Chain A
Amino acid sequence: MDLLGNLALGFATSLSLHNLLYCFMGALFGTLIGVLPGLGPVATIAMLLPITFGLEPVSALIMLAGIYYGAQYGGSTTAILINLPGESTSVVTAIDGYQMARQGRAGTALATAALGSFFAGTVATVFIALFAPPLAELALEFGPPEYFALMVLGLIASITLASGSLLKALAMILLGLLLGLVGRDIYTTEARFTFDLQNLSDGLQFVALAMGIYGIGEIVRNLEAPETRSVAVTKVGGLMLSWADIRRIAAPVLRGTGLGAVLGILPGGGALLSSFASYALEKKLSRHPQEFGKGAIEGVAGPESANNAGAQSSFIPMLTLGIPSNPVMALMVGALIIHGITPGPAFVAEKPELFWGLIASMWVGNLMLVVLNLPLIGIWVRLLTVPYNYLFPAIIVFSAIGVYSVNNSTADVLVMAGMGVFGYILYKLDCEPAPLLLGFILGPMLEENLRRSMLLFRGDAGQFFTRPLTATLLGIALVSLVVVLLPTISRKREVVFKE
């Protein structure tokens, strides 16, 4: 392996002045649009894709990569500052990031996200450069039964996202799973739970759900209690990490990076699982799990690193097998093909400058992001000093436009309104929404892979336990369930006894 020579080729490509410029522009646009609530990476890339058509393939991809990272980071920013996750992965970041912001530590949370992401991005880049082709083979080890087992594991991990009642968290996951099944069934093409409404035949949009439950629900909740809200506004706090913070985040960042880099390879939702797998892991390993959900810095550092490493390694199945692992990757495959390049097994050998240029530019993109965002943190945080009475109408308007723009559908805006009411009721009933959202995302994948597995097994469910990888994953899931259940029950008892 001529790794150094390859990377040299890559950097020679990506560090040319105009490619650097495209990368910077991509990261800048991505960030600026991504910080607008409701505009996640998919919407951002779809909107900016046409700009890249006129460019050389290398430049176009480099710019797209910049946009992707920028939009992701922008999504994390809104999740931390105003509790608005613009995409599925920032649901996890919002849990503790927003609590940190309420305690006046928004700057620290944003810096943690930026630095954790940069570290993860750097490691994942090297990881891809070294192992891309063998890793692609690994992805193929995952068939429908393995994905099913992985989803089960993910669901169990998502119980830990809630800090309150375990039973309620379970119920919320189930409700999320059910909501995720709305739309046409791909096996029989029957319309499910759509009330014969055309706009629901595609299912509920994640962004509409998240913006409603988090965005609208959160705003109404803030409006009813002016006293608690003012806390978040007055204290802006320090922008940088203290040594104590760095010591606390070091291990979570490392573990998150590992999780993300490995899970990101799986095209069927691996990168997504990595961020909350990391959260669950940190909460379990932490010596002070009670802080999670109330502003634990580890709850931002781990998932953000996992998220970025996963985003990075999800390029592997796309570049080596031509399999897009998420909508953003699919757009990138489209962009490649428009430029006359079909990603596949021969891609690395046939277009080395493009492959290595892209890998090098991933790192450059991450560097841009840190350079760009560390100074911007001050500005984002200052946004919080805008009186809330003037800030929240802007949030509502942006969310509405953002939700609309994903599919150019006003029905989604109406769904958001409905979900806002639902979110407020959930708050009143003390039901935490994060497990519901994760259930919602995993629901369709869980069902699809279960049904597919049963067909492939010809009905012999025992094969779930005879396939080594599936059995291992299900075993881990079972152990996790026990580990998750035990301390929660005992801790609940403690609380009861104190009262």
Chain B
Amino acid sequence: MKLTSLAAACLSFALAGAPLAGPLANAALAETAYPDKAVTIVVPFSAGGTADIIARMAAEHFQKKFGQPFVVENIGGGGGVSGVEKVTRAAPDGYTLVLASTSNLAVHPTLYGAKFPYQTLRDLKPIGQVSVVPNVLVINPDKIAARSVPELIAYLKANPDKVSFGSAGTGTTQNLAGELLMQRTGTQMVHIPYKGSSAMLPDLLAGNVELAFDNVPLLLPHVKSGKLVALAVATPERQDFDKNLPTVAETIPGFEATAWHGFLAPAGTPDAVTDKLSAELQTFMKQPETVKKMQELGMTPVSSTPEQFADLIKTMTAQWKEVIEKGNIKPQ
């Protein structure tokens, strides 16, 4: 009883302290000289992709607000591992940030097991989520006759190992979405990884790979032009960019394979710095221009606190872990 009441007291104190923390934090902010030099935002993918676009938009905003250059640095390769790994080893001073995605944060540490160089929440400190990027299931209409998810499943069942699906790299959500589709439907396709989505696109348009899950911004112009056909979106609900497009989950209940992005700093970065960035990031995410621009690009803007982002990483890590173990997906 005593212990419980002590805990309750602590809890109430903590809750009472929460509003206080606001002004205190602000005072700390005023004292923090951060940033007094250029800040690097590492984007662990090649330039021109979705993460890169968000990073550049945010960098522009930060640069205006903080009066210091925010430099976007693209470190592609290894499915994004190289870039994130570099940030986990950077000085925890707030001058190296990373805009990482689902794969980096919730997939790789599970996928690669004990030898993997970082554990997301041990080595990185979340600042905030910025987006949900729905993956869309597209096919090359010249190669696959199916025009709906059930038709596709029937086609895949009739032609095991015939369809090649492209992805932005081993261990990306694009890759896992395809694996998930195979697992849930008991079908077999061949996975072809590329160095990022931009590199995969020409082969998808040309029909060298016939199917892919990928981001809306990349695919939408080609779906509009008719070169690709979108069958479904891999989010739980239908999306604003096309309310007529069904979800995969309508055919395969519970199917969800979205990508999301968020900013993180190396673990050990002072709270004053991450709070300052988090506050500014949330302001940026709520600006009408940001919301509009991100929707134009097929992303759902998200404004979240560091805690909410940490929770998301935890939940998603658990979810993908199950998929990876069930599918026995390992580096070939």
| A interface residues, Cβ below 8 angstroms from B | 46, 50, 53, 139-144, 183-191, 198, 201-203, 267-268, 317, 321-324, 327, 329-331, 333-334, 337-338, 340, 342, 344-346, 407-408, 448, 452, 455-456, 458
23 contacts between A and B (CB under 8 A): A50-B60, A186-B169, A186-B193, A189-B112, A189-B171, A198-B85, A198-B86, A202-B76, A202-B82, A268-B199, A321-B205, A322-B201, A327-B74, A330-B74, A331-B47, A334-B48, A334-B52, A337-B217, A338-B53, A346-B221, A407-B75, A408-B40, A456-B192
B202 close to A323 (CB less than 8 A): yes
Smallest Cβ-Cβ distance to A444: which chain B residue: B195
B170 close to A321 (CB less than 8 A): no
Question: In the complex, A64→B7 CA distance in Å?
Answer: 61
Smallest Cβ-Cβ distance to B111: which chain A residue: A189
B77 close to A183 (CB less than 8 A): yes
Cβ of A407: which chain B residues have Cβ within 8 Å of it? 73, 75
Smallest Cβ-Cβ distance to A47: which chain B residue: B71
* Contact digits for B58-91, partner A, Cβ 8 Å, 1 yes 0 no: 0010010000010101111111011001100100
Known: A53-B60, A334-B48, A345-B222. A184 touches B331 (CB 8 A): no
Smallest Cβ-Cβ distance to A337: which chain B residue: B53
Question: In the complex, A321→B296 CA distance in Å?
Answer: 18
* Docked complex: B201-232 residues within 8 A CB-CB of A: 201-203, 205-206, 208-209, 217-218, 220-222, 224-225, 227
A143 close to B332 (CB less than 8 A): no
> How distant is A143 from chain B, measured CB to nearest CB, in Å?
4
> How distant is A133 from chain B, measured CB to nearest CB, in Å?
11
B222 close to A344 (CB less than 8 A): yes
B48 close to A330 (CB less than 8 A): yes
Assuming A334-B47, A338-B56, A456-B192, what are 10 further A-B pairs, CB within 8 angstroms? A186-B78, A186-B79, A191-B78, A201-B78, A201-B81, A327-B46, A327-B47, A330-B48, A333-B48, A344-B225
* Contact digits for B159-171, partner A, Cβ 8 Å, 1 yes 0 no: 0010010000111
Cβ of A203: which chain B residues have Cβ within 8 Å of it? 77
> How distant is B169 from chain A, measured CB to nearest CB, in Å?
6
Question: In the complex, A143→B218 CA distance in Å?
Answer: 19
Question: Is B190 engaged at the interface, CB distance under 8 Å to the other chain?
Answer: yes
Number of residue pairs A-B, CB distance < 8 angstroms: 142
A190 close to B331 (CB less than 8 A): yes
Counting chain A CB atoms within 10 Å of each CB, which of B60, B82, B296 scores highest?
B82
> How distant is A364 from chain B, measured CB to nearest CB, in Å?
25
Cβ of B78: which chain A residues have Cβ within 8 Å of it? 183-186, 189, 191, 201
A338 close to B60 (CB less than 8 A): yes
> How distant is A77 from chain B, measured CB to nearest CB, in Å?
26
Cβ of A458: which chain B residues have Cβ within 8 Å of it? 161, 190
Known: A184-B81, A324-B48. A140 touches B206 (CB 8 A): yes
A141 close to B206 (CB less than 8 A): yes
B331 close to A342 (CB less than 8 A): no
B77 close to A186 (CB less than 8 A): yes
Smallest Cβ-Cβ distance to A333: which chain B residue: B48
Cβ of B222: which chain A residues have Cβ within 8 Å of it? 344-345
Question: In the complex, A201→B171 CA distance in Å?
Answer: 17
Cβ of A327: which chain B residues have Cβ within 8 Å of it? 46-47, 74
Smallest Cβ-Cβ distance to A347: which chain B residue: B221
| B interface residues, Cβ below 8 angstroms from A | 40, 46-48, 52-53, 56-57, 60, 63, 69, 71, 73-79, 81-82, 85-86, 89, 112, 117, 161, 164, 169-171, 190, 192-195, 198-199, 201-203, 205-206, 208-209, 217-218, 220-222, 224-225, 227, 293, 296-297, 331-332
* B221 CB contact (under 8 Å) in A53, A144, A268, A342: A342
B170 close to A187 (CB less than 8 A): yes
Known: A345-B221, A408-B40. A340 touches B77 (CB 8 A): no
Counting chain A CB atoms within 10 Å of each CB, which of B46, B53, B208, B331 scores highest?
B208
Question: In the complex, A172→B224 CA distance in Å?
Answer: 48
Cβ of A331: which chain B residues have Cβ within 8 Å of it? 47-48
Cβ of A267: which chain B residues have Cβ within 8 Å of it? 202
The 6 closest A-B pairs by CB, nearest first: A344-B221, A184-B78, A330-B47, A330-B48, A143-B208, A345-B225
Cβ of B194: which chain A residues have Cβ within 8 Å of it? 186, 452
B201 close to A50 (CB less than 8 A): no
Smallest Cβ-Cβ distance to B203: which chain A residue: A143
> How distant is A437 from chain B, measured CB to nearest CB, in Å?
20
Question: In the complex, A50→B38 CA distance in Å?
Answer: 13
Question: In the complex, A455→B79 CA distance in Å?
Answer: 19
* A186 CB contact (under 8 Å) in B48, B75, B170: B170
Question: In the complex, A139→B57 CA distance in Å?
Answer: 30
Cβ of B74: which chain A residues have Cβ within 8 Å of it? 327, 330
Question: In the complex, A73→B48 CA distance in Å?
Answer: 25
Known: A202-B77, A337-B297, A346-B221. A189 touches B170 (CB 8 A): yes
Cβ of A452: which chain B residues have Cβ within 8 Å of it? 192, 194
> How distant is A403 from chain B, measured CB to nearest CB, in Å?
15
Known: A143-B208, A323-B202, A324-B48. A346 touches B225 (CB 8 A): yes
Smallest Cβ-Cβ distance to B191: which chain A residue: A455
Cβ of A268: which chain B residues have Cβ within 8 Å of it? 199, 202
* B57 CB contact (under 8 Å) in A185, A201, A324, A338: A338
Smallest Cβ-Cβ distance to B63: which chain A residue: A50
> How distant is B30 from chain A, measured CB to nearest CB, in Å?
27
A330 close to B198 (CB less than 8 A): yes
Smallest Cβ-Cβ distance to A196: which chain B residue: B117
* A184 CB contact (under 8 Å) in B40, B77, B220: B77
Known: A183-B77, A452-B192. A140 touches B85 (CB 8 A): no
Question: In the complex, A342→B221 CA distance in Å?
Answer: 8
Question: In the complex, A331→B56 CA distance in Å?
Answer: 10
* B198 CB contact (under 8 Å) in A139, A198, A323: A323
Cβ of A346: which chain B residues have Cβ within 8 Å of it? 221, 224-225
> How distant is B125 from chain A, measured CB to nearest CB, in Å?
19
> How distant is A123 from chain B, measured CB to nearest CB, in Å?
25
Smallest Cβ-Cβ distance to A186: which chain B residue: B195
Cβ of B225: which chain A residues have Cβ within 8 Å of it? 344-346
Cβ of A338: which chain B residues have Cβ within 8 Å of it? 53, 56-57, 60
> How distant is B220 from chain A, measured CB to nearest CB, in Å?
8
Question: In the complex, A198→B74 CA distance in Å?
Answer: 16
> How distant is B203 from chain A, measured CB to nearest CB, in Å?
6
A324 close to B47 (CB less than 8 A): yes
Smallest Cβ-Cβ distance to B330: which chain A residue: A188
> How distant is B87 from chain A, measured CB to nearest CB, in Å?
11
B56 close to A140 (CB less than 8 A): no
Smallest Cβ-Cβ distance to A344: which chain B residue: B221
Question: In the complex, A43→B63 CA distance in Å?
Answer: 19
Question: In the complex, A142→B227 CA distance in Å?
Answer: 17
* A144 CB contact (under 8 Å) in B69, B73, B208, B217: B208
Smallest Cβ-Cβ distance to A317: which chain B residue: B202
Cβ of A324: which chain B residues have Cβ within 8 Å of it? 47-48, 198
